[in-house]
């Protein structure tokens, strides 16, 4: 499932393709500035639940790392999403 998140460091958007079965604490790195975003993922969707790097260290958790594909604006054309939207609308 493709999710999008905003990086407040470089003020851009990132997309990330996550497996629908994915759950747990994950570190997602901005594709432009390498800023770390600590998010809880539920059923392959990024949630608004965030955590701190200290939690990983304190509880010795395995937080998986993914790198986002950076875009300056949310509405910049994504071929995959455009094609999926066209298929959905035309059916």
Q: How confident is the model at residue 26 (pLDDT cuts 50, 70, 90)?
A: confident
- The chain-wide mean pLDDT, for the chain, equals 76
CA distance 21 to 34: 25
pLDDT, greater one: 15 or 76: 15
Residues 65 and 18 sit within 8 Å (Cβ to Cβ):
no
Q: Give the range of the structural domain holding residue 71, as residue numbers without chain letter.
A: 2-90
Strands (E), the chain: 2-7, 12-17, 24-29, 36-42, 45-50, 64-67, 69-71
Q: Give tens-digit pLDDT for 33-48.
A: 999 888 888 888 888 8
Average pLDDT over residues 2-30: 85
> What are 69's two structure tokens?
């594909």
Counting the structural domains of the chain, the total is 1
């Amino acid at each position: 499932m493709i999710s999008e998140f905003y990086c407040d460091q470089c003020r851009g958007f990132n997309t990330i393709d996550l497996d629908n079965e994915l759950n747990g604490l994950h570190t997602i790195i901005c594709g432009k500035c390498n800023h770390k975003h600590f998010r809880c993922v539920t059923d392959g969707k990024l949630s608004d639940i965030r955590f701190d790097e200290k939690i990983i260290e304190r509880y010795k958790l395995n937080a998986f790392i993914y790198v986002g594909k950076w875009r300056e604006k949310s509405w910049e054309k994504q071929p995959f999403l455009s094609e999926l939207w066209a298929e959905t609308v035309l059916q």
